[in-house]
Chain A
């Protein structure tokens, strides 16, 4: 046997139907040797991995490309189109194609196999979900199948890692088949090269060749029916499918179905909102300790400050999201792998479609009340591009947990102590109103976008409802790991960059005042500590912020935000909030020289008693409501921007979203201020 290519490097493409167990097989072959990349110009992730092993004293290296799931070589969605185009791209240099076929549903899975065989690819057929097939008492004559198809056929059980050695050997032996499944007498498709031409032209102009595509598929299925009847024995009674039907009776029931969905959503919400808080606090504390350590052990100066307040703040801002991402994808992995996600979409499709959304948008929308960042990453399971883009676009409008500290502070200023109609707590009522407002605006925006976004892709709901299975912890673990890796690696870079820029702007200034303050600060720091030192340093911090570039910016934008009732001080807070909304509270504390930055009661008192030039209360109802609405709708979150860029792979969507949310925030704040004052 001669090695298939030089240096025993073999490039493999994994192909198969969705739900056929392709990811499990990919994980089984590569373990953690995976990387997520990009296809040029599209939103689909490119999943690649590698495997090294020895066989008969020879070392082999497999590089494996996991292509999006398809049913045939006639793509129906953007993801499917990528899979087909990549496969036919000669620059990819694919040596062997491994077709992953669900052993419990060989018939539908073989369509793709016969097409690839007819294109003369070197092909291996991996029969997956063999454990499932065994429990359904399905018996497959592998030798017979292999002889008829003319390619290597291997049974693989990814759960118990059985058959992987045979799969590797089969890949090394792989050859193209002499069989030809499409020999329709009609004449023009009687050889491999003409079939390849047909497939390529169908990819370029799908509409024209539809009747021929259908004829091709029907012809193939007729042959496949014959093959399956001959080599696959399955019993009449399918116990596993009956179990699935019994579970479905609950999950799609008109009462229990929604009760179950609500319970699932509630759990997701709990984990992302509350349970994640614990590890997030640890991360925050560890970074504070680390920051203090670096601050006091490195020589004082610019570099020290950059490291602690610029870089470290940025890094902790990135790491802070890891618990939420991990928890959300743990849930999503469980829901997808078990088969429940398909049922959730099934019962929600009709409602969500009205808003141009997908049944699968429900989970991201609910988890968006905790944080938009992991939720935007979670929209990946929505396969229709338009529905996915709409979901991403509207997600940051939902009130997330970072808005809570801002809401809490402002509501406390707005209604220090009052009851509404004597019974309701007004604070709770306002908070509830703001959350509801977020949801309503979100759905309204979606219904408008539905008409604005145009795609070639049609919205189908033609999909498999897979049988229920126990999820594989290993698959979920690898997925969570990959998601975190992508977030930290790609979105993390942008977050870090913005964080450093914000640090620079808030700690540097160009005018004389700023330089005088710096000098004063150095003098005080070097002088012996007195009872005044702390207070003096606080005053200087406040003055420095006011005279920094951000302070200048605050003054600069004042004319623009004055119609909203905001002055340059609030302007500064609006700019620093871009790092994350909750920074508002800290910035206000610095500006108003509150004693303790972490104590919002101190700032509340300051704001309550702050008066404007003419002696009126500065934080009036009008200003507070204006600010509340501004924070409800403005895109003040660099992490969201970073993750939208990463998920849509374009700045166009980021800018459109930023512009839309800014206009919405400005407009509603303007209306509130003008109406109330």
Chain B
């Protein structure tokens, strides 16, 4: 299982599921739905937070928040 936190910059993936219920509620309303395509667009200089392109906009989240998002790499 790969999480959003493991993705490298520019890698594309699909969201599969969430491991943290409270965070998932926030992420879902921000448009991070299971099945949605996601790509890391930018990583902060100190490695955290990260920015992702999702649902037509740019979202930033901390590394541990990203770790709660299970993704599947798109070839």
- Enumerate chain A interface residues (CB-CB to B < 8 A): 71-72, 74, 76, 104-105, 107-108, 111, 207, 210-211, 213-214, 217-218, 221, 234, 241, 244-245, 248, 252-254, 257-258, 342, 346-347, 349-351, 458, 460-467
Specify the chain B residue showing the minimal Cβ separation from A76.
B26
Contact A347 B28 (CB under 8 A): no
Q: List 16 A-B contacts (CB under 8 A).
A: A108-B30, A108-B31, A210-B21, A221-B31, A221-B33, A349-B49, A350-B47, A460-B26, A460-B61, A462-B26, A462-B27, A462-B65, A464-B58, A464-B59, A464-B60, A465-B58
How distant is A132 from chain B, measured CB to nearest CB, in Å? 12
Contact A465 B60 (CB under 8 A): yes
**Complexed CA–CA distance, A254 and B47 (Å):** 10
The 7 tightest CB contacts between A and B, nearest first, are: A254-B45, A465-B58, A350-B46, A71-B29, A72-B29, A108-B31, A461-B62
Q: Given A210-B21, A346-B49, A460-B26, is A252 in contact with B44 using a C-beta cutoff of 8 Å?
A: yes
Contact B30 A462 (CB under 8 A): yes
- Enumerate chain B interface residues (CB-CB to A < 8 A): 21-31, 33-34, 41-42, 44-49, 51, 55-62, 65
Contact B60 A217 (CB under 8 A): no
**Complexed CA–CA distance, A205 and B21 (Å):** 15
Q: In the assembled complex, which residues on chain B have CB atoms less than 8 Å from the CB atom of A464? A: 30, 57-60
Contact A350 B48 (CB under 8 A): yes
Q: In the assembled complex, which residues on chain A have CB atoms less than 8 Å from the CB atom of B26? A: 76, 460, 462
Q: In the assembled complex, which residues on chain B have CB atoms less than 8 Å from the CB atom of A105? A: 55-57
**Complexed CA–CA distance, A458 and B62 (Å):** 13
Q: In the assembled complex, which residues on chain B have CB atoms less than 8 Å from the CB atom of A213? A: 25
**Complexed CA–CA distance, A359 and B51 (Å):** 15
Q: In the assembled complex, which residues on chain B have CB atoms less than 8 Å from the CB atom of A350? A: 44, 46-49
**Complexed CA–CA distance, A71 and B46 (Å):** 29
Known: A210-B22, A465-B51. 17 other contacts (CB 8 A): A104-B56, A108-B30, A108-B31, A111-B29, A217-B29, A221-B28, A241-B58, A245-B41, A252-B44, A258-B45, A346-B44, A349-B48, A349-B49, A350-B49, A460-B26, A460-B61, A467-B57
Q: B49: which of A107, A217, A461 is its contact (CB, 8 Å)?
A: A461
Contact A217 B28 (CB under 8 A): yes
How distant is A465 from chain B, measured CB to nearest CB, in Å? 4
Q: Given A105-B55, A350-B47, is A462 in contact with B61 using a C-beta cutoff of 8 Å?
A: yes
Q: In the assembled complex, which residues on chain B have CB atoms less than 8 Å from the CB atom of A234? A: 56
How distant is A225 from chain B, measured CB to nearest CB, in Å? 9
Interface SS majority for chain B: mixed
Contact A346 B25 (CB under 8 A): no
Q: In the assembled complex, which residues on chain B have CB atoms less than 8 Å from the CB atom of A221? A: 28, 31, 33
Q: In the assembled complex, which residues on chain B have CB atoms less than 8 Å from the CB atom of A74? A: 25, 29
Q: A461: which of B29, B31, B61 is its contact (CB, 8 Å)?
A: B61
Specify the chain A residue showing the minimal Cβ separation from B57.
A105
**Complexed CA–CA distance, A74 and B27 (Å):** 12
Q: In the assembled complex, which residues on chain A have CB atoms less than 8 Å from the CB atom of B25? A: 74, 76, 210, 213-214, 217
Specify the chain A residue showing the minimal Cβ separation from B64.
A461
Q: In the assembled complex, which residues on chain A have CB atoms less than 8 Å from the CB atom of B65? A: 460-462
**Complexed CA–CA distance, A10 and B72 (Å):** 50
Q: Given A76-B26, A108-B30, A465-B51, is A351 in contact with B57 using a C-beta cutoff of 8 Å?
A: no
Q: In the assembled complex, which residues on chain A have CB atoms less than 8 Å from the CB atom of B30? A: 71, 108, 462, 464
Specify the chain B residue showing the minimal Cβ separation from A232.
B56
Q: In the assembled complex, which residues on chain A have CB atoms less than 8 Å from the CB atom of B28? A: 214, 217-218, 221
Q: A458: which of B22, B47, B56 is its contact (CB, 8 Å)?
A: B22
Q: Given A217-B28, A464-B57, is A347 in contact with B33 using a C-beta cutoff of 8 Å?
A: no
Specify the chain A residue showing the minimal Cβ separation from B43.
A252
Q: In the assembled complex, which residues on chain B have CB atoms less than 8 Å from the CB atom of A458? A: 22
Specify the chain A residue showing the minimal Cβ separation from B56.
A105
Q: A211: which of B21, B23, B60, B61 is its contact (CB, 8 Å)?
A: B21
How distant is B25 from chain A, measured CB to nearest CB, in Å? 6
Q: In the assembled complex, which residues on chain B have CB atoms less than 8 Å from the CB atom of A467? A: 57-58
Specify the chain B residue showing the minimal Cβ separation from A460.
B26
How distant is A200 from chain B, measured CB to nearest CB, in Å? 17
**Complexed CA–CA distance, A128 and B49 (Å):** 29
Of A211, A342, A461, chain B has the most CB atoms within 10 Å of the CB of: A461
**Complexed CA–CA distance, A214 and B23 (Å):** 11
Q: In the assembled complex, which residues on chain A have CB atoms less than 8 Å from the CB atom of B56? A: 104-105, 107-108, 234
Q: In the assembled complex, which residues on chain A have CB atoms less than 8 Å from the CB atom of B46? A: 347, 350-351
Q: In the assembled complex, which residues on chain A have CB atoms less than 8 Å from the CB atom of B49? A: 346, 349-350, 461
How distant is B50 from chain A, measured CB to nearest CB, in Å? 9
**Complexed CA–CA distance, A461 and B41 (Å):** 16
Q: In the assembled complex, which residues on chain A have CB atoms less than 8 Å from the CB atom of B45? A: 252-254, 257-258, 347
Q: In the assembled complex, which residues on chain B have CB atoms less than 8 Å from the CB atom of A211? A: 21
Q: In the assembled complex, which residues on chain B have CB atoms less than 8 Å from the CB atom of A111? A: 29
Q: A108: which of B22, B42, B55 is its contact (CB, 8 Å)?
A: B55
Q: B58: which of A218, A244, A460, A461 is its contact (CB, 8 Å)?
A: A244
Of B47, B60, B61, chain A has the most CB atoms within 10 Å of the CB of: B60
**Complexed CA–CA distance, A210 and B26 (Å):** 10
How distant is A634 from chain B, measured CB to nearest CB, in Å? 35
**Complexed CA–CA distance, A108 and B30 (Å):** 7
How distant is B18 from chain A, measured CB to nearest CB, in Å? 9
Contact B33 A462 (CB under 8 A): no
How distant is B6 from chain A, measured CB to nearest CB, in Å? 18
How distant is A68 from chain B, measured CB to nearest CB, in Å? 15
Contact A107 B22 (CB under 8 A): no
Q: In the assembled complex, which residues on chain B have CB atoms less than 8 Å from the CB atom of A217? A: 25, 28-29
Q: In the assembled complex, which residues on chain B have CB atoms less than 8 Å from the CB atom of A460? A: 23, 26, 61, 65
Q: In the assembled complex, which residues on chain B have CB atoms less than 8 Å from the CB atom of A207? A: 22
